[in-house]
Every structure is written in structure tokens, then in C-alpha cells.
Amino acid sequence: MIYSWLIALFQALLYVALAPLLIGWVRKVRARLQNRRGAPLLQPYADLRKLLIKEIRVPHTASPLFRLAPYIVFVATWLAAATVPLVALDLPIAQIADIIVLVGLLGLARFFLALAGMDVGTAFGGMGASREMLISALAEPAMLMAVFTLAMTAHSTSLVSVMSHHLADGFLLRPSYLFAFGALVLVALAECSRIPVDNPTTHLELTMVHEAMLLEYSGRHLALMEWASQIKLLLYGVLIANVFFPWGIGQDFGLLALGIGLVVVLLKLAVLGLALATAETTLAKMRLFRVPAFLNLALLLALLGLLSHVILEVGA
């Protein structure tokens, strides 16, 4: 019991530790694809460290919420991540939250992020918040639809059951999974504010979404916010990787199993990161009002997944 909780703790810490690495990896690959050498792989860690020790500057107009938000955002994201099986299946912490709770926790984080954006009372903050809420409003149903497809297949909304069900089935070509996968990928791009929905590296005023909300942050607050978004990216990566390709994840808590699980998941994430970087270099960011079309595609895919599950897989 205690042991399993310890593993859960370890896994949670692993998320925090690995998140910057994934970002670093993606940036590196992008740089390579653009024939640049790019920053070192561990650069994100350095950035975070620097931000953490820097002094904080808070606008006059900011309310206490401004300073509270980073912690909530960070913690909510982290807790959400901690419930997603990374290296080992069936951890007690996974019982705390099923997929819907996970979406809820991310929603909580987003809520405070948006509020923080509006708190200072600058035009950009409000703009960012408004756009973020639009995107999430369109992304969330798609996400849940995709998740429901899996959930209805496994007759359960708990990730553990979904994965183990998938493992038990062995390798099946489920059309519903294909659609759900597509949907989840699109949603992930939108939610983690990656190209083509948002550009994490831009500070060009009118195109920012996520950055616009962080505009006024500095020091450790900024660090927390950045870190949270990195964890979020990792979370989605793991979600996609482990839900659709759960093979290799540790079925028991033996060190060997955990080790294998870790290695395998790192490999999966590396591949995903590669794909993401490639996508971001080949695609261009789209106008804000093209985004709904993009997300409607995601919703459509998710719906198709659900229907094909209902019609093709359960029916008759």
C-alpha cells in the first residue's frame, strides 16, 4: 500500500522532472529541422531556474488573485498529470480522478489562467483570456467525445481500466480508436497552444493567445506558469501515447517493470515530440477564426469515433 503510494509520488515527481525535457527535445528537433543548431536540450531547466531566482514585479493594478493564480494553475495541472499512468498501471492515485475529473482539473487551471490574464486590466490580457476560453470551449467537447469513445469501449472512465482493457484485447484495429486518436491529437495541439492554433514562441501582440495571458508575469510566477504548460504538454503526450499504445507500461510494481515502463514511455514521447516538431515546422499558424473549423474537425472525428463504436463495434 505505502509502496504503491510511494511509486505514485515518484511518478508524479517524474512528470515535473520530465516536462521541461520534452519541451527541450521538441525545440531541439525543430531547430534541427530548420537547419539551426538550437539551444541545448536542457535549456528549459536553465530558464526555469533563472526565473525562479529572479525578483518578481507585480503591476499596481493586480489583485491578490494575480499572485495566487500561478500556484493553483501549477498544482491543478500537476495533480491532473499525476493521475495519468506514466510508467506503472493501477496506481492508487489514479483512483482519485478518472478522465472526466482530469479534464475538470485542467479546466480549473485554465479558469485561473484566464482570470489572471484579465486581472491586470490590460487589453492583451483580456484578449488572450477571451480567445483561450473560445478555444477551450470548442476543444473540450471534442476531447470528452474522444475520451467517451474509449470509455464506452472499456465500459469505464478510469484511465487504468481503459488501458488494461486495451492491453487485454491485444492489438485490435478499432475504427473508433483511429478517429478518437485523430481527435485527441488535434485537441492536444489546441489545448497545449501549439501551432497551428497558437504559437508558443511569438509575442506578436495580435496573434498571442496563451502568451497574452502571461504577459504581466515575471519571476517565479512566470516560472510556475511556464512549467505548468510544459507539464500539460507532457500530460497530453502521455495520454496519447499510453492510451492508444499502452504496451510496455509496468503492469506490476517490480523495479524491472517500472524501468521498462519508463524507457518505453520515453521512447514513445520522443517519437511524439519528433512528430510534433515536424508538424510545427511544416504547418503555419492559422487565423483565429479558422480555429473553430479546425476544432470542429476534431469534434467531427470524435463523433465519428463514437458512432462507429456504437454502430460497428457494439451493434448486433
Partner 1 sequence: MSTHAVLLLAALSVMLALAASATSLLASREPRILRLIAMPLIGFAGLAAVAAGLAALILGGSVTTTLPLGLPWMPWHIRIDALSGLFLLLIGLVTSAIGIYAPAYVRDFERGRDSLTALGGFTGLFLTGMLLVVLADDAFLFMVAWELMSLSSYFLVAFQHENAANRRAAFLYLLMAHIGGLAILLGFGVLAAFGHGFDFASMREATLSPGWASLAFALAFLGFGMKAGLMPLHAWLPEAHPAAPSHISALMSGVMLKVAVYGFIRVVFDLTGQLQWQWGVVLILIGSLSALMGVLFALMQTDLKRLLAYSSVENLGIIFIALGLALVFLSTGHALLGSLAFVAALYHAINHALFKSLLFLGAGAILHSAHERDLEQMGGLLRRMPWTGSFFLIGSLSISALPPFNGFVSEWLIFQAALQAWQLDSGVLRSLIPIASAVLALTGALVAATFVKVYGIAFLGQARSRHVRHARQGALGMRVGQGLLAALCVLFGVLPTQIIGLLEPVSAQMLGTGLPQAGAQGWLWLTPISSETASYSAPLTILLLALIAGIAFWWFVRRAPRRMRRRDPWDCGFAPPSPRMQYTATAFAQPMRRVFGMLFEIDESRPAFDDAAPRYRLKLTDRAWGLLYLPVMQAVEAASRRVVRLQSGNVRVYLGWTLATLLVLLWIIS
Interface with partner 1, residue 274, by CB under 8 A: no
Interface with partner 1, residue 6, by CB under 8 A: no
Footprint (CB under 8 A) of partner 1, residues 224-253: 224
Interface with partner 1, residue 215, by CB under 8 A: yes
Binds partner 1 by CB under 8 A, chosen from 87, 91, 105, 238: 105
* CA proximity to 259, closest of 86, 90, 5, 81: 86
310 DSSP 8-state letter: I
Footprint (CB under 8 A) of partner 1, residues 57-86: 57-61, 63-65, 71-72, 74-76, 78-79, 82
Sign of CA dihedral 14, 100, 107, 132: positive
Least distance in Å: CB of 282 to partner 1? 27
Sign of CA dihedral 86, 88, 89, 91: negative
Footprint (CB under 8 A) of partner 1, residues 171-200: none
Binds partner 1 by CB under 8 A, chosen from 18, 47, 89, 136: 136
Interface with partner 1, residue 254, by CB under 8 A: no
Peptide bond connecting 141 to the previous residue in cis, omega within 30 degrees of 0: no
Least distance in Å: CB of 172 to partner 1? 17
- Residue 247 · residue 264 · CB < 8 Å: yes
Within 8 A by CB and 6+ apart from 40, the residues are 24, 28
CA angle 44, 63, 19 (to 5 degrees): 20
The identity of residue 14, as a single letter, is L
**CB nearer partner 1, residue 38 or residue 141:** 141
Least distance in Å: CB of 7 to partner 1? 16
Interface with partner 1, residue 24, by CB under 8 A: no
* CA proximity to 106, closest of 24, 190, 196, 6: 190
**CB nearer partner 1, residue 201 or residue 278:** 201
Interface with partner 1, residue 100, by CB under 8 A: yes
Q: What are phi and psi of 120, to 5 degrees?
A: -70, -30
Binds partner 1 by CB under 8 A, chosen from 141, 175, 274, 297: 141
Footprint (CB under 8 A) of partner 1, residues 29-58: 52-53, 55-58
What is the C-alpha end-to-end distance of the chain, expressed in Å?
Answer: 43
Binds partner 1 by CB under 8 A, chosen from 19, 114, 192, 258: 114
Interface with partner 1, residue 300, by CB under 8 A: no
C-alpha–C-alpha distance, residues 81 and 105, integer Å: 9
- Residue 73 · residue 214 · CB < 8 Å: no
Part in contact with partner 1 (CB under 8 A); list of ranges 41-49, 144-152, 174-182, 275-283? 144-152
* CA proximity to 231, closest of 73, 113, 41: 73
Least distance in Å: CB of 161 to partner 1? 5
CA angle 9, 101, 294 (to 5 degrees): 115
Binds partner 1 by CB under 8 A, chosen from 131, 166, 174, 232: 131
Interface with partner 1, residue 220, by CB under 8 A: yes
Measured CA to CA in angstroms, residue 280 lies from 26, 55, 85, 299 at distances of 10, 33, 27, 21
Part in contact with partner 1 (CB under 8 A); list of ranges 147-155, 178-186, 231-239, 258-266? 147-155
Interface with partner 1, residue 125, by CB under 8 A: yes
Part in contact with partner 1 (CB under 8 A); list of ranges 36-44, 186-194, 252-260, 296-304? 296-304
Number of residues forming the site for partner 1 (CB under 8 A):
86
